[in-house]
Amino acid sequence: MAGADERFMAAALRLSRRHLGLTDTNPSVACLIVREDVVVGTAVTAIGGRPHAETQALAEAGARARGATAYVTLEPCAHHGRTPPCCDALIAAGIVRVVVCVTDPDERVFGEGIARMHAAGIEVMTDLLRPEGEKALSAYLSRKRRHRPEVTLKLAVSADGMIGRKGVGQVPITGAIARAQTHRMRAESDAILVGLGTALADDPELTCRLPGLEQRSPLRIVLDRRLDLPLASRLVATAGTVPLIVVAEAPAPDAESAASPAVPEVHAGSALRADPRHDADGFARRRAALEREGAAILLTERHHLHDLLGRLSARGLSSLMVEGGAAIARAFLEADLVDRIALFTGPRSIGEGGIASPCVDGRIDGFAPVGRAVFGPDRYTEYERES
């Protein structure tokens, strides 16, 4: 039975990727209902997070679920939320065996679903293909275990190790095939983040523009301490259709702190810093203008990236793709907040005036290469944080 179990769980894990980035605060979970080696029901967490995979798969299986085995990539929930517990639905449907890939670290579940199914007489097998399941659910697990989103740093680097040229807007580094891969990564992410410098220099939309996946654009986040993002920018112009959060620093409450020396916007894990030009009246006007265009403003008080990620996690965000410039990339790396590096290397050199990348292909301290690919003329290397 072991071979069949692994085959069906592998299929469930592949299915679970279908709705990455689309299930709100819930993870993208898959469930297969199998009877006599035939799949009679299959589902993935619905867009928006409800209904869950188990109830949908059971509905598809109908009466054929009685006496069947359920393969679930994450432990069935055991708490009453907007829907009844999935473990109870499996019990009521007459499932006789449940195979679970990963135990849910959510404190409302955390083995309770497994215990209740055991108590009902269901045979439960756990941890099947767990390493693969941990990878598939890595973003959700990061939010639950570390209370922050999983961070992927995406970089496009020239042959001479540059990510751009000083005083110039966006410089093409990779080709169309690699750019399409970037858009696919955006489609699977909950949010994408850049700094104000990138927003001003490149005027990006940060949306997914692959045919058929346009509706899978992630939440956009801009680190902009003074709210200087232009109303005419593409990010603001599209805020009514694709959500935009501008992360700012509240103006200093008194003249003494307002007159404190200015320091760089980003360094050593700090996202936002005090600025003597940061006047309250101008800030209020800029905030009101951005909010009228549909942007949401998130004020920070502690000014640390750790704090920012904690607040994003509290909003239910599990995965964050960082595409910002060199300063933002270095800040996340120095704060030890990068879990994965997606490094695209183009064949052309930028030369004089280039902006050095914080990462180049080869050995990256603290990270190990886990995959390589070729996209047209461009090379791709994926790194993961070493244990």
Which two tokens mark 183?
């858009």
Q: Which candidate, 77, 128, 122, places its Cα nearest to that of 97?
A: 122
What six digits make up the tokens of 70?
A: 């359920």
Integer CA distances (angstroms), 330 to 51, 213, 299, 320, 356, in order: 40, 30, 22, 16, 11
State the DSSP code for 355: E
Alpha helices in 39-100 (DSSP H): 53-61, 86-92
Residue type, 351: G
Longest distance between any two alpha carbons in the chain, whole Å:
75
Per the CB < 8 A criterion, the answer to whether 41 and 61 are in contact is yes
Q: To which residue do tokens 């980035």 refer? A: 21
Find where tokens 């598939």 sit. 136
Question: Got the DSSP string for 257-306?
Answer: HHTSPP--SSBTTB-----TT--HHHHHHHHHHHHHTT-EEEEESS-BHH
Residue 299 sits at φ, ψ, to 5 deg, of -90, 135
**Could you give the residue numbers annotated as active site?**
54
Beta bridge partners of 376: none
Peptide bond before residue 51 is cis, with ω within 30 degrees of 0: yes
Q: Which residues contact 132 (CB under 8 A, 6 or more apart)?
A: 10, 13, 101
